[in-house]
Amino acid sequence: MTDARETSISNADRPPLAEAGPAPVPLLEPREGIPPVTATPEALAEVVSAFAAGRGPVAVDAERASGYRYGQSAYLVQLRREGAGTALVDPVGCPDLSSLGEAIGDAEWVLHAATQDLPCLRETGMSPTRLFDTELAGRLAGFARVGLGAMVENVLGYTLEKGHSAVDWSTRPLPEPWLRYAALDVELLVDLRDALEEELERQGKLEWARQEFAAIAAAPPPPPRKDPWRRTSGMHKVRRRRQMAAVRELWTARDQVARRRDVSPGKVLGDAAIVEAALALPTSVQALSALPGFGQRTGRRQLEQWLAAIQRALALPESELPQPALTPAGPPPPRAWADKDPAAAARLTAARAAVTGRAEELNLPQENLLAPDTVRRLCWEPPEELSESAVAEALRAHGAREWQIEQTAPLLAAALAAAPPEG
């Protein structure tokens, strides 16, 4: 698990749980020691039996090999439950963990930054029906720092080791210090969950959190990205369609190599190198090797492979060249609103001020009170009737939760109605 981005909350007092207290205690060893890695069907069957017989919520975490391997698969799954202890499961040796998911049943999962781990856990056959996200709970409760280490320290008074979050978890065998780190990541998750539930209840926000958790658990997997090559870093420099074709061909060739070798695409060829080659459109190995990213470490066979991709782009007829990126559905970037629709720009200014003010009153980040994209869509195409009920229905159509609608619909209706009309 990698600590989620820590978000500062403007003008927010720390909640009682985060008040300064005794010096935090280093958490050095799991309570029952480091469990053996479960990597065989027989060992998995024992874990399944133990967790089926356990009690209460299940702490769940997963470690990936981001930056090392192709894709975002899990290379270690950690679980802890009262009565079952901690388990470290190797999805390489046990790729199908559906039996473990069934053993947990409808028990509540406790995760930190759940949306990071749920996709790779679903790949193994595990998916929660109920969950509690300690990172999101921390945001709603008004904590200024919501990474796991900061939360455990501020709420429970322990410090966690931070040294192994970005290692190559596909390494086998996994070193003992890494396994200790992994086990400790779930050691206190249920304790943290219980403390945060109590704090959210004290602040009157527990029902809000439950709605957020239910939305995460029910959310379908995102659809595959269309034209993922367009997300190449530095793509904004590429203007001509022939150059775009070169980016597409190089990106596709790199992806095929990375998938075949099971390595991160960036280790095969960097985005910056792809963009440099697309801009230059070299026609020889010598010219390609002179570009940044294609230096001495790139063998001739690799250079020929990349040059072939560029040549495919150069040979395409005009009709097969990619078109400039289509304008995404929804409102344009806010910076363009003043020119395109001054009235909408005025609505957005008023709406943002209303949401920001309410978020500060509630001591939570404004993006958790209401998604910025929802605010933009509402202001770009407001309902014909600017009543509270009409605004509430529009927010609901954009996916806002009921607690968010309750907190923001009256303010947004007033802000939209007060914004100066066009002309």
- Is residue 352 predicted with pLDDT exceeding 80? yes
Tell me what pLDDT residue 300 has. 87
Q: How far apart are CA 168 and CA 375, in angstroms?
A: 40
Burial 382-401 (b: 16+ CB within 10 A, else e): bbeebebebbbebbeeeebb
Tokens of 233: 């870093």
Tell me how many degrees the CA angle 135-141-145 measures, rounded to the nearest 5.
Answer: 55
Of 267, 253, 255, 271, the residue nearest 297 (C-alpha):
267
% of the chain beyond a pLDDT of 90: 86
Q: How far apart are CA 21 and CA 140, in angstroms?
A: 22
- Is residue 219 predicted with pLDDT exceeding 90? yes
Q: How far apart are CA 141 and CA 197, in angstroms?
A: 9
- Is residue 1 predicted with pLDDT exceeding 70? no
- Is residue 13 predicted with pLDDT exceeding 50? no
| Residue located via tokens 């390595």 | 263
Tell me what pLDDT residue 295 has. 78
- Is residue 196 predicted with pLDDT exceeding 70? yes
Q: How far apart are CA 209 and CA 215, in angstroms?
A: 10
DSSP, collapsed to helix, strand or coil, labels residue 79 as strand
What confidence tens digit (pLDDT) does each residue in 252-297 have?
A: 999 999 999 999 999 999 999 999 999 999 999 999 999 999 977 7
Tell me what pLDDT residue 411 has. 97
Q: How far apart are CA 50 and CA 121, in angstroms?
A: 19
What confidence tens digit (pLDDT) does each residue in 393-422 have?
A: 999 999 999 999 999 999 999 999 987 776
- Provide the mean pLDDT of the chain: 92
- Is residue 18 predicted with pLDDT exceeding 60? no
Tell me what pLDDT residue 422 has. 60
Q: How far apart are CA 276 and CA 282, in angstroms?
A: 10
Mean pLDDT of 119-128: 97
pLDDT band at 17; cut points 50, 70, 90 = low
What confidence tens digit (pLDDT) does each residue in 68-114 have?
A: 999 999 999 999 999 999 999 999 999 999 999 999 999 999 999 99
Q: How far apart are CA 47 and CA 45, in angstroms?
A: 5
Tell me what pLDDT residue 327 has. 66
Tell me what pLDDT residue 7 has. 35
pLDDT band at 299; cut points 50, 70, 90 = confident
